[in-house]
Structure 1
Amino acid sequence: MKAAESLERELRVAARSLGRRGLAHAYGHCSVRLDERHFLVCAPRPMALIAPGESGQVVRIDGPLPEGVLGEVRLHQQLYRRRPHVQAVARTMPPSLMALGTARRIPKARHGMGAYFGAGAALWDDPQLVRDDALAAEVIDAMGDLNAIVMRGNGVVVAAESLPQVVSLTWFLEDAARLELAVLSAGLEPESAVLAASERERRATATGGIFERMWEYLCAGDPELQ
């Protein structure tokens, strides 16, 4: 099965954006659903270094990973298998989320960008790599219906309805973690407001070009968008 050229290009742009914006380094991967049986994962390289035109690999949602596909891509498989509305997944290592995760903490919804995660992301309290199907299923079970799960000392998995959304949401969650660390380091936690459920619901809007503008910002300068 061959993915459409435009979708291959969008996946490469998403991968490079995650890497170039400091949300992933040598490790991490992103993917996009092709149909009910397949998804496309980016090349198994540092995402910022994926070259224009470099192909990803098609993976079956049910079945063993193809040779050469990174082991933790099982997390993507489990999400696509269990949640039909999920169209894109990113597995990254954002630094502020990594720091909070070591303390078994997730960022609270203190500002608008944090509102997109409800009361917060899920937490997986294990720093080990997820390289078998049973463990991948446990992680996604722990994620539940949320759109992100922070893995203690091991980054984050974010799921969304498109590649622009998954890249934007990854940046939003890292910004929420940055703010959380700033609030904690300043000793302002008792005074810092956390958004109520009604405030989160109103603020977490997709209208007005929210995701489109963030996608444009994060992808600026990409060699395949010149």
Structure 2
Amino acid sequence: MSDATTVRIAARALGRAGLVHAYGHCSARISADRFLVCPARPMGLIRPGEACPDVPVTGPLPDGVLGEVRLHQRIYAARPDAGGVVRFMGPNVMALGALGLVPEMRHGFGCYFHPRAGLWDDVQLVRDDEKADAAFAAMGQSVGLILKGNGAVVAGKTLQEAVMLAYYLEDACRIELSARVAGRADDALVPLDQARARATRAGGIVERMWDYLTDGDVEKPSRDEG
């Protein structure tokens, strides 16, 4: 399966999961200094075989590539182990971000964002170099960044992992909102050492989430096809 095919499958999976709508984007690194990003249109509507723009990790964005992809560039440039980035707008991420809040580590999925998801506390879109630099700095050491009123960005070792992390961050925001409604915002926090241990990639968890979210995609090979 080609890198472009993986990007298209990921984009449609995020659309089916309700994590993106008219807006959002995802990308996959293809070399130390290049990555592919999904076409600049609603991700769930991306067609099989549609071209995915090739973008440099540093330098101007190609024509037709969304300005927000600058944040993808910053992540790939600063994190050599990053292989996939997802920008998404899940409803719980949007709600918590609009309040200027990030989820605490309260359950297994939330532990993956230790020591804490970052917060870009600015409602403006990240469409220029200055904002991209500042937003990446706000991400800190986490794999996730909440954008106030504008969704979130996650980075994984692969695009498959980034898709999983998008699902996890949306669920962490759901738990956070529920805890606050219940008046338990100061309770049930997972200690940092336990969170680090819980954030495992073993046991096929990335692969199982990928299979779950991409099941039935027209471009996904069957197991018999490899």
Judge same fold: TM > 0.5, yes or no: yes
User: What's the offset of the Cα at 1:208?
Assistant: 0.7
Count residues with an aligned counterpart. Answer: 221
User: What's the offset of the Cα at 1:145?
Assistant: 2.3
Tell me which of 46, 52, 58 is aligned to 2:48: 52
TM-score (norm 2): 0.94
TM-score (norm 1): 0.94
Q: Are 1:104 and 1:152, in contact at CA under 8 Å, matched by a contact in 2?
A: yes
1: CA distance, partners of 2:103 / 2:157: 22
Runs (4 or more) in structure 1 with deviation over 4 Å come to none
| 1:41 maps onto 2:47 in alignment | no
User: What's the offset of the Cα at 1:103?
Assistant: 1.2
Structure 1 match to 2:212: 217
User: What's the offset of the Cα at 1:172?
Assistant: 0.3
The 5 A counterparts of 1:3-152 are 6-152=2-148
2: CA distance, partners of 1:81 / 1:205: 25
Give 5+ residue unaligned stretches, structure 2. none
Deviations 1:166-220 (A, max 9, x none): 0000100100111111121222334x41101121122111111111111111111
| 1:203 maps onto 2:195 in alignment | no
Q: Are 1:108 and 1:119, in contact at CA under 8 Å, matched by a contact in 2?
A: no
Give 5+ residue unaligned stretches, structure 1. none
| 1:169 maps onto 2:191 in alignment | no
Deviations 1:92-127 (A, max 9, x none): 111101111111111111110001011320001001
2: CA distance, partners of 1:141 / 1:119: 15
The root-mean-square deviation of aligned C-alpha atoms, in Å, is 1.2
1: CA distance, partners of 2:176 / 2:56: 38
Amino acid at match of 2:150: N
2: CA distance, partners of 1:182 / 1:7: 38
Could you tell me the percent identity over the aligned residues?
51
